[in-house]
Amino acid sequence: MRIVFLTGIWPPDVGGPATHGPDFARFLVGRGHGVHVVTMGDGEPAERPCEVEVVSRRLPFPLRYGGVALAGVRAARRADVVYASATYAAAAVAAAVARRPLVVKLVSDPAYERSRRYGLFRSSLEDFQRARSRPARLLQALRTLALRRAGAIVVPSAYLARIAAGWGLREERLHVLTNPAPPPRDVEPEPLPPGTFVFVGRLTAQKGLPTALAALERVPGARLVLVGDGPERGRLEALAGNRVEFRGAVGRDEALRTVAGAAAALLPSDWENLPHAAVEALAVGVPVVATAVGGVPEIVHDGVNGLLVPPGRPDELAAAMARILEEPALRDRLAAGARPSVEALSSESVYSRLEALLQEAAR
């Protein structure tokens, strides 16, 4: 099977889709499939498990996005199926022009993401589904038009599946498939100072990091390491005190070592689907302190493998962080529950199911 794979980010970018891309491409190549990746980037890709074609982010957005669509069309004409984990409109165009089936991995509501990015909507993801302003309705219509081209839509949480079903997408095309955990192996923890929490991901407004910085100020002795980069970095650096360290984008193995040395992983998102960073932290035996948004409670279970708090409330987030540091027995119990909670999410199991969906679409 020949697959053209469209994605918005790729290593050295950090984030769930940047982890998924090379992992799944490597899996497919190992199964004997041909894979051609089309992505956006600031430079050369850090990983090349297959052919990776990069459209420069230095181009203005219309040219950049059009470049992804054009490259997708060229590659799709030589492929059996188009697979997209972002750039859904470009993937729909590529699949339609090349007359190839399309499978989509949906990680969020792209219409909501754009509305937030451009300051068109300020409320929750759930409220956006009921928004009736002209800009919101236009973005909702464009999103649904692109996704209707897909024969199968994979979502990592039941939460997002319920939301997507409300867009008029056929429910039989929606498949819940949680992100895989890293393979079981011993990760040598980075020796971080006591009381260190670690965030891994893109530094975007979605991640609620100003709330984390405000919470940190309320927890004496706590430190925060931010692994990743993104458009909010400058703003966060201006807000951060001397107990915050910015690591920037690093390789996956280094990120896992850093998380493994933490008192807990911190995920203070204002909205979320199901963050891959939570799965990875649990897989290396580290509890997660997170906001109870989106699909997060499907993987982080309060009092079992982590602690959950409401979004946007620094006092409650600070109280949870303080419990991790002040109650060693609690922290040890949550850590003991971390790895077993994701044991069933092996890459072999998850990616085999995704491979089967691609094969079924390509028939």
Q: Which two tokens stand for residue 110?
A: 């792209």
Is the overall model pTM greater than 0.75, yes or no? yes
The CB-side HSE value for 37 (13 A sphere, CA atoms) comes to 29
220 class by beta-carbon count within 10 Å (0-12 exposed, 13-18 middle, 19+ buried): exposed
Q: What length is written for the chain?
A: 363
- For 182, which DSSP code? P
The domain spans of the chain are 2-180+346-362, 196-342
Shared fold status for 2-180+346-362 and 196-342? yes
Amino acid at 298: E
The CB-side HSE value for 202 (13 A sphere, CA atoms) comes to 19
CATH 3.40.50.2000 is held by the domain 2-180+346-362: yes
Model pLDDT, residue 320: 98
Q: What is the mean pLDDT of residues 8-20?
A: 88
Residue 185 confidence (pLDDT) above 70: no
Classified as helix, coil or strand, 82 is strand
332: confidence class by pLDDT, cuts 50, 70, 90? very high
Q: Which CATH superfamily is domain 196-342 in?
A: Glycogen Phosphorylase B; (3.40.50.2000)
Phi, psi of 40 (to 5 degrees): -110, 150
Q: CA 320, 250, 84: angle at the middle one, nearest 5?
A: 90
Q: Which two tokens stand for residue 318?
A: 């600070």
Q: Print burial letters for 151-176: b (CB count within 10 Å at least 16), e (below 16).
A: bbbbbbbebbbebbeeeebeeebbbb
How far apart, in whole angstroms, are the C-alpha atoms of residue 321 and residue 215? 8
Model pLDDT, residue 13: 87
Classified as helix, coil or strand, 170 is coil
**pLDDT tens, position by position, 212-241:** 999 999 999 999 999 999 999 999 999 999
**pLDDT tens, position by position, 269-320:** 999 988 889 999 999 999 999 999 999 999 999 999 999 999 999 999 999 9
